[in-house]
Amino acid sequence: MNSPKPKTPLPSVATENWGDWKWHMRNRIRNEADLCAYLDPTDQEKEAIEATKGVFQWSVTPYYASLMDATDTACPIRRQVIPLPEEMQFDSIGLEDPLEEVAHSPVKNLIHNYPDRVAFCVTSQCAIYCRYCLRKRMVGEAEFMMRKDELREAIAYIAAHSEIKDVLLTGGDPLTLGDAHIEWLLSELSAIDHLEIIRIGSRMPVKLPQRITSELCDILSRYHPVWLNTHFNHPKELTPEASEAIDRLLRAGVPVGNQTVLLKGINDTTKTMRELCQGLVKMRIRPYYLYQAQLIGGTAHLRTSIETGMQIMRELQGHLTGFAIPKYVLDTPYGKVPLTRDYVMGRNDEGVVIKTTRGDVWVEANEAPATGALPSV
Ligand code: SF4
């Protein structure tokens, strides 16, 4: 398999360190002084770094920091990971657990919301802490780390529920765990007869692609079917290093999908979303979901309107090949709801009346008797 082609944006970093994911984890930016090696933080950023201490985790890998634009305070990489004072303004609709995950957890860190699937938060650790994170309430927190006996309890729950066919390893980020730990988890889960697939949700290909080593890919390839969903939000994240990491996963037989969160000022334009989707497909990643940002406390400044999201989706339709267009969805405690424009307007004497993606009206002749499910137009 190909090895990553490391680059070293900081002259002080040796090439072999830049290619080593454990070096990046050990050398994450965790304070203002570390950040100054990459850029001069604004007064607002400095204030927010201080104010959010002890409230929400903060760390950035040197790799991800190297993608930040030191001269542009609106840089979409910077805005995903460096806090702003708005984060401490708890808006009236911001919640801690909008998907009611705690209420759906029969054992610690195991969310059983759909009958046939569970989300298994195997760790609370992430390599970076995204400012809009859905699980802000738990990521990076010691009380949500999983001891071996707690992992065993969750695995026993899955083994005891034959209706569960699909397990999503999530967190935190499961790929922050070491190889031996990941192999243990996969072998325990693979031994459960009724489990049909294992999915991994990880942002490592985006924030630390060096983590996708040949050794890790060899492990994943031993426990198929294993799928991986990652989380690119902006075309700036589609780097050669990320592309090589995805190539290693695909060569190991792991299909890769992408979930994007719609974020104000970061990716909420049609141009950005189009470039992102095109770039993902070029890397052989299937754009899967575009999520409406959740009502997490302290993230109002990063949420954009559903109308904006729908407009972007309208403008992608017809301008990108079908499989490059993600589904725009809202996650709720009752499952995902597609936020789609209704193209089918109703029925008239000639057939079914449809509004095309260009806004024209098209009548599709249809002689099957009307069932009454469509309104007369
Ligand atoms: S990587 Fe995922 S789980 Fe971790 S902080 Fe970012 S969005 Fe949250």
Of 83-92, 153-162, 168-177, 221-230, the poorest mean pLDDT is in 83-92
Rounded to the nearest angstrom, the distance between the alpha carbon of 79 and the centre of ligand 1 is: 14
Looking at the CA of residue 171, tell me the nearest atom of ligand 1. Answer: 3
Q: Please state whether beta strands 335-338 and 327-332 pair in parallel, antiparallel, or not at all (unpaired).
A: antiparallel
Rounded to the nearest angstrom, the distance between the alpha carbon of 353 and the centre of ligand 1 is: 43
At 160-178, the pLDDT tens digits run 999 999 999 998 999 999 9
Rounded to the nearest angstrom, the distance between the alpha carbon of 42 and the centre of ligand 1 is: 24
Q: How confident is the model at residue 89 (pLDDT cuts 50, 70, 90)?
A: confident
Q: What is the CA radius of gyration of the chain?
A: 22
Residue of the nearest CA to atom 6 in ligand 1?
130
Residue of the nearest CA to atom 7 in ligand 1?
133
DSSP 322-354: GGGSPEEEEEETTEEEE-----EEEEETTEEEE
Q: Taking each helix axis from N to C terminus, what angle separates 214-221 and 240-251, rounded to the nearest 10 degrees?
A: 30
DSSP 293-314: PP-BTT-GGG---HHHHHHHHH
Looking at the CA of residue 57, tell me the nearest atom of ligand 1. Answer: 5
Taking the alpha carbons at both ends of the chain, their separation in whole angstroms is 59
Residue of the nearest CA to atom 1 in ligand 1?
203
Pocket test for ligand 1, best of 59, 82, 139 (most atoms within 8 A of CB): 139
At 331-346, the pLDDT tens digits run 887 778 888 766 678 8
At 3-18, the pLDDT tens digits run 344 456 676 788 889 9
Ligand 1 shell residues, CB under 6 Å:
126, 129-130, 133, 135, 139, 171-173, 203
Pocket test for ligand 1, best of 25, 61, 97, 130 (most atoms within 8 A of CB): 130
Residue closest to 184 by CA, chosen among 174, 194, 193: 174
Rounded to the nearest angstrom, the distance between the alpha carbon of 130 and the centre of ligand 1 is: 5
Rounded to the nearest angstrom, the distance between the alpha carbon of 283 and the centre of ligand 1 is: 22
In terms of pLDDT, which residue wins out, 338 or 244?
244
At 250-280, the pLDDT tens digits run 999 999 999 999 999 999 999 999 999 999 9
pLDDT at residue 362, rounded to an integer: 82
Rounded to the nearest angstrom, the distance between the alpha carbon of 269 and the centre of ligand 1 is: 22
pLDDT at residue 121, rounded to an integer: 96
Portion of the chain with pLDDT greater than 90, in percent: 69
| Mean pLDDT, the chain, integer | 91
Looking at the CA of residue 207, tell me the nearest atom of ligand 1. Answer: 1
Rounded to the nearest angstrom, the distance between the alpha carbon of 214 and the centre of ligand 1 is: 24
Taking residues 319-330, what's their average pLDDT? 93
Q: What are phi and psi of 120, to 5 degrees?
A: -115, 105
Element (H, E) at 198: strand 197-201
Rounded to the nearest angstrom, the distance between the alpha carbon of 227 and the centre of ligand 1 is: 18
For tokens 């559903």, what's the residue? 306
CATH superfamily of this structure's domain 110-338: Aldolase class I (3.20.20.70)
All structural domains of the chain with their residue ranges: 15-84, 110-338, 343-377
Residue of the nearest CA to atom 5 in ligand 1?
129
* Helices and strands: H and E segment counts in the chain: 13, 12
Task: Examine the pLDDT at 133 and tell me if it is beyond 60.
Answer: yes
The span from the CA of 149 to the CA of 215, in Å, is: 26
Rounded to the nearest angstrom, the distance between the alpha carbon of 347 and the centre of ligand 1 is: 45
The span from the CA of 80 to the CA of 27, in Å, is: 19
